[in-house]
Structure 1
């Protein structure tokens, strides 16, 4: 992929739904093709492993590296899968400075990854999460993520499936606004065959580094998962001083 202008990098988030498409078929190779279509420099995946049993990995990481140029940030998870509570971060070019694997509060087992990266376009802290189905759990999970969002002056990109469709005062994501700037209504990414709800989000601090968030809406993406991927250009050059 050609270098993006002005120190920009493409960040993306994609709930791959355990590689089960809207046709009910589990086709990991189809998911890999969608990941390659997106052309991201950094992508956060959710539901990348099976949920039960040995939580086996579903994606062929070697194939992703060959056709998409992305490699995983390795996690310690104690099972056969690649991710942390299904969360996996893939990176095109960069050095991992620090990784934190967070267990999020709530009734369901949920987690998040906090990765400090030195990319070719600049340093960044990536926060990748999949929030719970219950609103009260999401409220606690947002607070937990905010507690891990400080520490230095790295710009932050937080992304994932937030499972929140409400807006303004009713939204569990509202506390993010005071730390990341205006949340907006997001872009509809669910369900993939007829998107109505903005469940997937990308936000940044400072918010000025984040370009418009878009869905990656291709015929293959509409079949490969019940979520469409979302993506945005992020300007990291000089972001520490922004």
Structure 2
């Protein structure tokens, strides 16, 4: 059963029908904290790419700057750069504010990509969290609880096979307050210290790279920030808080794209996966 996303100009189903659909969908999905589903697309990704395109995007549950929830606008942003690995934050599942849509499945189905979703916050039947989208099957998927005082947060990790190499991709959305981040960053660091593959960590860190604790975490994990071509804010009326961190060589610099589909900008980049790149990491 599929819930039709709310779109401008289309009347929403009555609340009683929505409630029934939500209950039935939850019965199918179960209440596990982690959902991983393959959604095969029409186009096959190269099994041995020389480079991969990556993207991180806080979608604010698909609420645009006009105050309307429109997941189709997010899909247009996601399609624009044709990224191979996508990290999304503030994704809703079965929440009233976003029309009781399972946004994780909606985005994966629209793009024909594999996906994993991990809620950080649950209230009754509704969930809110982070997700990964991938042109390649996601393996060894794990969710790590990062805790939080104001709001709980999580770290979602998975492995993808790219040619003869495994790459770990991860996403998180850290707390709004310094107190929350002081609790969450050590847990994030601990969860990722055992990673032995190349690592791409993407997300909304709610702090700039000059933040001492974030900078220390990046150093301990031996990651490098993927610098923006044009430094600037990644969130409306804010700073550069959405980052791509990696130990893979970057192809040029990453960049943002203008959008009105969210209060954050999507951040894009291209990473190298050649034999030379592997030698440089050794």
TM-score interval, normalised by the smaller of the two chains:
0.7 to 0.9
2:105 is matched with which residue: 52, 61, 67?
61
Give the corresponding residue for 1:190. Answer: 234
1:117 is matched with which residue: 152, 160, 168?
160
Aligned length: 229
Q: Any stretches of 5+ residues in structure 2 without a counterpart?
A: 1-42
Q: Deviations over 1:114-169 (max 9, x none)?
A: 112213573111110000011122132221111121335310000100000362xx
Return the alpha-carbon distance in structure 2 between the equivalents of residues 16 and 213 of structure 1: 22
Give the corresponding residue for 2:80. Answer: 37
Give the corresponding residue for 2:20. Answer: none
Secondary structure of the residue aligned to 2:186 is helix
Give the corresponding residue for 1:203. Answer: 245
Tell whether the 8 Å contact from 1:51 to 1:86 is kept in structure 2 after alignment.
no
Secondary structure of the residue aligned to 2:69 is coil
Larger relative contact order, structure 1 or 2 (CA cutoff 8 Å, min sep 6): 1
Give the corresponding residue for 2:142. Answer: 100
Larger mean Cα displacement after TM superposition, 23-32 or 141-150 = 141-150
2:273 is matched with which residue: 233, 236, 239?
236
What is the CA-CA distance between 1:70 and the residue it aligns to? Answer: 2.1
Structure 1 residues 171 and 76, CA gap change in structure 2 (3 angstroms): closer
Give the corresponding residue for 2:21. Answer: none
Tell whether the 8 Å contact from 1:93 to 1:120 is kept in structure 2 after alignment.
no
Larger mean Cα displacement after TM superposition, 196-205 or 13-22 = 196-205
2:264 is matched with which residue: 220, 227, 232?
227
2:204 is matched with which residue: 161, 164, 177?
161
Tell whether the 8 Å contact from 1:21 to 1:224 is kept in structure 2 after alignment.
yes
Give the corresponding residue for 1:71. Answer: 114
What is the CA-CA distance between 1:51 and the residue it aligns to? Answer: 9.0
Return the alpha-carbon distance in structure 1 between the equivalents of residues 91 and 139 of structure 2: 23
TM-score by length of 1: 0.79
TM-score by length of 2: 0.69
Give the corresponding residue for 1:146. Answer: 189
The alignment yields a C-alpha RMSD, in angstroms, of 3.3
* Aligned positions of 1:73-88 closer than 5 A: 73=116, 85-88=128-131
Give the corresponding residue for 1:17. Answer: 60
Give the corresponding residue for 1:177. Answer: 219
Tell whether the 8 Å contact from 2:61 to 2:91 is kept in structure 1 after alignment.
yes
What is the CA-CA distance between 1:13 and the residue it aligns to? Answer: 0.4
Q: Any stretches of 5+ residues in structure 1 without a counterpart?
A: none
1:129 is matched with which residue: 162, 166, 172?
172
